[in-house]
Every structure is written in structure tokens, then in C-alpha cells.
């Protein structure tokens, strides 16, 4: 049986914060978690298609590079979420935990940096107002992730394949 919303929140609430951030180029993202019709859901964004943007058109979480004005990584995640989709996590969210940093890896078209992911419990949401960096938002049921598997092709690069690609159950806010 797939865990319900409160079970997910309870499991995440005991995750210990990682050690102090490593000095490096940093970014942060906000993973908003809510209770939806199909069970727990996370908020994703589709980034706008923009020339020169290495994440152009990608699905991801609201967030971005840490500025000098950001006192902490979580402040960065909150600021970027406000800027990108007008979603104030201080008003609508409750921080559950911080997950371990994710290294973006180095490529010639983008800088390597460490991304700090933060999970927020969300019980209500306003209408999102998207800025020029975002084309769309989508609440994705966590159960969707139980229907995907990693496939490794001849190039050795992993890809995601849906076992039921014609149907993605979602609910709109």
C-alpha cells in the first residue's frame, strides 16, 4: 500500500539535516508536498524555453542560484519560489526537512553547483503567477513515481520510462 499524506510527512519529518553546506556555487529548490485526490502530490514546474538556459524546457522544482542576499539555502529556495511562481512559502508552507545536496555535475554549457532541496508541507495554495522563467506548474501524485523505472540504453545513460505513459493522474489546484 502506498503511504498516505500524513505518513509521508511523518517519515520526512525525522530526516536529519545534512552537515553544514560545502563552500561552492550553490542553489536551492523547494519541493512542495500536499494532500491531493490521488494521495500525496509534489509541485513541479516546467521551465520556459529560453536560448542559452541549460535547463530550458526542463521539468523541475521552483528554485535557483543562491544570491549574496540569501542568508541561507532555505532563504534562497523561498525567494526563488516567490520570484518564479509568486508562491510565498512563509505564508503557505511549513518546512518539513532538508534533503542531501545534489551535484548538478559539470557540462560545458552549465556550471557545476550543489543544489539544496527543501521539502515543505502545503495545505493551501494561491493562484500561481508565473514569471518569464516558468511556462507551467503541475501537481504530480507521488504514486506516479511508483509506475516509472530506469532504463539504461546502449549509451549507458539512464532514462525514465513510464509503465503507463498515456495516463498521468493529476489534480489541479
Number of domains in the chain: 1
Does the reported pTM lie above 0.85? no
Mean pLDDT across the chain:
83
Give residue-wise pLDDT tens across range 61-71: 999 999 999 99
167 burial type by CB count under 10 A (0-12 exposed, 13-18 middle, 19+ buried): exposed
Q: Flag whether 163 is in a domain.
A: no
Q: Flag whether 127 is in a domain.
A: yes
Q: Which whole number is the average pLDDT over 30-59?
A: 91
Predicted local distance difference test score (pLDDT) of residue 112: 79
Q: Flag whether 54 is in a domain.
A: yes
Q: Which whole number is the average pLDDT over 90-95?
A: 97
| CATH number for position 80 | 3.90.79.10
Amino acid at each position: 500500500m502506498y503511504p498516505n499524506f500524513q505518513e509521508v510527512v511523518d517519515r520526512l519529518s525525522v530526516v536529519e539535516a545534512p552537515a553544514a553546506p560545502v563552500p561552492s556555487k550553490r542553489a536551492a529548490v523547494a519541493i512542495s508536498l500536499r494532500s491531493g485526490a490521488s494521495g500525496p502530490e509534489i509541485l513541479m514546474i516546467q521551465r520556459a524555453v529560453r536560448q542559452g538556459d541549460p535547463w530550458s524546457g526542463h521539468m523541475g522544482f521552483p528554485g535557483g542560484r543562491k544570491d549574496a542576499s540569501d542568508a541561507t539555502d532555505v532563504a534562497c529556495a523561498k525567494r526563488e519560489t516567490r520570484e518564479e511562481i509568486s508562491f510565498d512559502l512563509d505564508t503557505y508552507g511549513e518546512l518539513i526537512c532538508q534533503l542531501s545536496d545534489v551535484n548538478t555535475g559539470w557540462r560545458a554549457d552549465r556550471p557545476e553547483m550543489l543544489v539544496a532541496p527543501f521539502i515543505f508541507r502545503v495545505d493551501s495554495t494561491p493562484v500561481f503567477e508565473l514569471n518569464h522563467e516558468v511556462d507551467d506548474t503541475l501537481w504530480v501524485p507521488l504514486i506516479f513515481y511508483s509506475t516509472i523505472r530506469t532504463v539504461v540504453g546502449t549509451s549507458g545513460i539512464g532514462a525514465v520510462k513510464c509503465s503507463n505513459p498515456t495516463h498521468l493522474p493529476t489534480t489541479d489546484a
